[in-house]
Amino acid sequence: MEKALIVLSGGQDSTTCLYWAIDRFGAEALTSVTFDYGQRHRVELECATAVADFAGIGNTCLPIDTFGALGGDALTDSNIDIEDGTDAATGLPNTFVPGRNLIFLTYAAAYAYQRNIEHLVTGVAQTDYSGYPDCREATISALQRTLRLGMESDVTIHTPLMHLSKKETVMLARDLGALPAMALTHTCYEGKRPPCGRCAACELRAKGFAEAEIDDPLTAPQ
Amino acid sequence: MEKALIVLSGGQDSTTCLYWAIDRFGAEALTSVTFDYGQRHRVELECATAVADFAGIGNTCLPIDTFGALGGDALTDSNIDIEDGTDAATGLPNTFVPGRNLIFLTYAAAYAYQRNIEHLVTGVAQTDYSGYPDCREATISALQRTLRLGMESDVTIHTPLMHLSKKETVMLARDLGALPAMALTHTCYEGKRPPCGRCAACELRAKGFAEAEIDDPLTAPQ
């Protein structure tokens, strides 16, 4: 049996990928990792656990305390509150790290290597909202080559959403039976549940569901 | 001025690279990072600080708590003592991670990116003792490409020791004036100072100095 590991953030995209992986590899072949890197909203971690539980697959939370220290401040000044710190210009937490997905996927590959798992699945996409250079296909392809050489493994990184629009991602989620799990996901930049509906992340999510003409289980009236 | 960042472990090789970088970029253009990843011997961290101080360059210690959790055990069982755990077959600490240098260099690249540093220097070598696949030139070359794509940067990874034997590394250290700093470095697998002289690491170091016909300042009679 081919085994697969999914990087699960608790958001809409990685949850869709989880169902893609169930469809591709089978739930029994699948497990997931979630990174606790000091993100602003702890609710993300709870959502990742809830989604994995709902889908019936295992989930391991891996701590990353390095991001906060990279800036230099959090390391030397323990008074700085990492969780509350946000860059006004970017809206990113002050734990944002260039090439962050490279770190996530390298850790995931190491975790997979030690368990004879050859397939990694991640929700990165170069379409629409994701302008991060570490989400692009060329980067992921180069990383896969690096991991294969650096670990002497046959790891493959699957990116089912790489070229999909948000609308197409929502339609894929529907086709894969992932919509019920969407009620458990987290998207809001404000960290609110129910979501604020006004931040850029909420607006993008709403736009995708609207264009797909599908009700979002997270916000639809019950 | 071109700036450079060196990954400094406190060992013989990274110390030699530090002096290579001083020669190439100048001490004022140089800073260093050391990773505290739960290594068995804390003396390594002290040696890195001492070497950086001796050479007159800055040093930042970055914590990595993820390695211990990757195995799954240290995360779920806080009774496991990471520092004491050693695999009997490999002699490696149970925090050993496949592709560990990929993590180190990706963090180093992120640290450098945020400070407009374009040059990374690392002591990895594919000659002699270093059979790790993440130390090979092909891996480092693939990683450099991944980092450039993933961070949209022009980072260059320098590996001055890549094709040198231990003997040649010792001779390079002498030519660069790095020998006095060698008294501050740490090599011994047993974590002993003065070094045990019997472990594989001590024997390899002694062999390199002997073949170069140079006294090791760490063990030579004062």
Structure confidence by residue, pLDDT tens digits, A25-34:
999 999 999 9
pLDDT value, residue B185: 96
A76 pLDDT more than 90: no
Place of tokens 């930042």: B60
Determine, for residues B99 and A71 on separate chains, whether the beta-carbon distance falls below 8 Å.
no
CA-based nearest residue to A70, from B115, B152, B98, B120: B115
Please give the mean pLDDT across all residues of chain A.
88
Q: CB–CB of A2/A25 below 8 Å?
A: yes
pLDDT value, residue A104: 97
What is the C-alpha to C-alpha distance for residues B167 and B174, in angstroms, rounded to an integer? 11
pLDDT value, residue A96: 65
Structure confidence by residue, pLDDT tens digits, A49-68:
999 999 999 999 999 999 98
Q: What tokens appear for B24 in the block?
A: 């190439």
pLDDT value, residue B77: 37
Determine, for residues A99 and B106 on separate chains, whether the beta-carbon distance falls below 8 Å.
yes
pLDDT value, residue B72: 44
Nearest beta carbon to residue A72 from set B60, B63, B147: B60
Domain ranges of chain B: 4-179
Q: How far is A204 from chain B (nearest CA, A)?
A: 24
pLDDT value, residue B79: 41
Q: How far is A141 from chain B (nearest CA, A)?
A: 8
Determine, for residues A136 and B152 on separate chains, whether the beta-carbon distance falls below 8 Å.
no
Determine, for residues B114 and A133 on separate chains, whether the beta-carbon distance falls below 8 Å.
no
A87 pLDDT more than 80: no
For the domain covering B4-179, report its CATH number.
Answer: 3.40.50.620
pLDDT value, residue A215: 96
Confidence of residue A213 (pLDDT cuts 50, 70, 90): very high
pLDDT value, residue A74: 38
Q: How far is A140 from chain B (nearest CA, A)?
A: 8
pLDDT value, residue B84: 45
Determine, for residues B66 and A64 on separate chains, whether the beta-carbon distance falls below 8 Å.
yes
Within chain B, which residues score under 70 in pLDDT? 72-96, 128-131, 221-222
Q: How buried is residue B213: exposed, middle or buried, by Cβ count under 10 Å (0-12/13-18/19+)?
A: exposed
What is the C-alpha to C-alpha distance for residues A22 and A39, in angstroms, rounded to an integer? 27
pLDDT value, residue B42: 87
CA distances from residue A64 to A69, A92, A118, B103 in whole angstroms, order as listed: 10, 17, 23, 12
> What value of ipTM does the predicted structure carry?
0.89
For residue B81, give the DSSP letter.
Answer: -
Q: Which residues of A touch B136 (CB under 8 A)?
A: 149
pLDDT value, residue B97: 82
Determine, for residues A65 and B64 on separate chains, whether the beta-carbon distance falls below 8 Å.
yes
What is the C-alpha to C-alpha distance for residues A4 and A64, in angstroms, rounded to an integer? 22
Nearest beta carbon to residue B98 from set A62, A75, A110: A110
Q: CB–CB of A139/A133 below 8 Å?
A: yes
Which of the listed ranges A164-173, A189-198, B93-102 does the model predict with the highest average pLDDT? Answer: A164-173
pLDDT value, residue B28: 97
pLDDT value, residue A167: 96
The architecture of the domain spanning A4-181 is 3-Layer(aba) Sandwich (3.40)
Q: Which residues of A touch B143 (CB under 8 A)?
A: 146, 150
pLDDT value, residue B200: 87
Q: How far is B139 from chain A (nearest CA, A)?
A: 5
Q: Residues of A near B (CB-CB distance < 8 A)?
A: 60-66, 69-72, 75, 97-103, 106-107, 109-111, 113-114, 133-134, 136, 138-139, 142-143, 145-147, 149-153
Q: What tokens appear for B197 in the block?
A: 């002289």
- Which of B59, B107, B136 would best serve as a mutation to test chain A binding (most A beta carbons within 10 A)? B107
Structure confidence by residue, pLDDT tens digits, A98-136:
899 999 999 999 999 999 999 999 999 998 555 689 999
